[in-house]
């Protein structure tokens, strides 16, 4: 399988699925692909998906991630951003989010070089930019991620984990009373019109104004 994988080319914006992949093969593929690569993977019950993101996808995830970081910084909260770290729950699930954050449980993983969900908590918040219908809610649920954001077609959808399923909510429990579903897409759009620095400056001003609202 690894020889075939080396010959596999996934164009930007496209994905391939491999079926009947064992857990051992999945881990061997991760090692073969290496950490410094452009594609992302998701694994569930023997099905492996490999996706190569578009430039637009990467831009959106970077800006939304930066906006979340700015919000946390303005609120004076400790956090750890782990980007597209590979999270696994042997022997059935594995996933690389577009972006993820430890916030409520930041202290629990502070300074750790590797995260093991057998003993460490999952990320408190994960983000998926869904330009290619990639989001895998069942896998996020299996990993125990309590809050999942999905950005698709210019809209931000916020989900919280209830039992084994996600339920869409109107506001983030991590950032209560903030209209992030409207504000984050607006500042992402502004970054494409006026530039990243302008959008970030305006967003920080908005966050500061909410403290006095």
CA 133, 65, 158, 207 torsion: positive or negative? negative
Percent residues over pLDDT 70 in the chain: 92
End-to-end CA distance of the chain: 58
pLDDT at 55 over 50: yes
Predicted confidence band at 3 (pLDDT cuts at 50, 70, 90)? Answer: very low
The string of pLDDT tens digits covering residues 56-115 is 889 999 999 999 999 999 999 999 999 989 999 999 999 999 999 999 999 999 999 999
Domain 54-210: assigned CATH number:
3.90.1570
pTM for the full model? 0.91
Domain residue extents for the chain: 54-210
Average pLDDT over residues 26-50: 85
pLDDT, mean of residues 184-198 = 98
Looking from the CA of 207 toward its CB, the CA atoms found within 13 Å total: 21
Task: Specify the pLDDT at position 125.
Answer: 98
Nearest to 203 by CA among 69, 62, 18: 69
What angle (nearest 5°) sits at the alpha carbon of residue 190, between those of residues 186 and 191?
Answer: 120
Give 112-159 pLDDT, tens digit per residue. Answer: 999 999 999 999 999 999 865 567 999 999 999 999 999 998 999 999
Residue 137, pLDDT score: 93
């Amino acid at each position: 399988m690894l020889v075939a994988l080396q010959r596999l080319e996934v164009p930007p914006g496209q994905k391939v699925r491999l079926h009947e992949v064992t857990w051992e093969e999945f881990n061997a593929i991760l090692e073969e692909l290496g950490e410094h690569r452009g594609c992302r993977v998701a694994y569930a019950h023997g099905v492996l998906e490999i996706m190569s993101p578009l430039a637009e996808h990467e831009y959106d995830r970077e800006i939304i991630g930066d906006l979340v970081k700015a919000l946390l910084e303005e609120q004076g909260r400790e956090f750890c951003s782990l980007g597209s770290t590979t999270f696994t729950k042997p022997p059935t699930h594995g996933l690389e989010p577009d972006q993820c954050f430890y916030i409520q449980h930041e202290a629990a993983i502070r300074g750790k070089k590797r995260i093991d969900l057998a003993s460490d908590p999952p990320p408190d918040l994960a983000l998926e930019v869904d330009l290619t219908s990639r989001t895998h809610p069942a896998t996020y649920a299996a990993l125990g991620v309590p809050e999942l954001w999905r950005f698709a077609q210019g809209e931000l959808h916020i989900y919280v984990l209830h039992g084994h399923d996600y339920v869409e909510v109107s506001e983030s429990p991590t950032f209560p009373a903030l209209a992030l579903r409207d504000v984050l897409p607006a500042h992402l759009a502004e970054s494409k019109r006026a530039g990243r620095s302008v959008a970030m400056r305006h967003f920080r001003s908005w966050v500061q104004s909410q403290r006095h609202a």
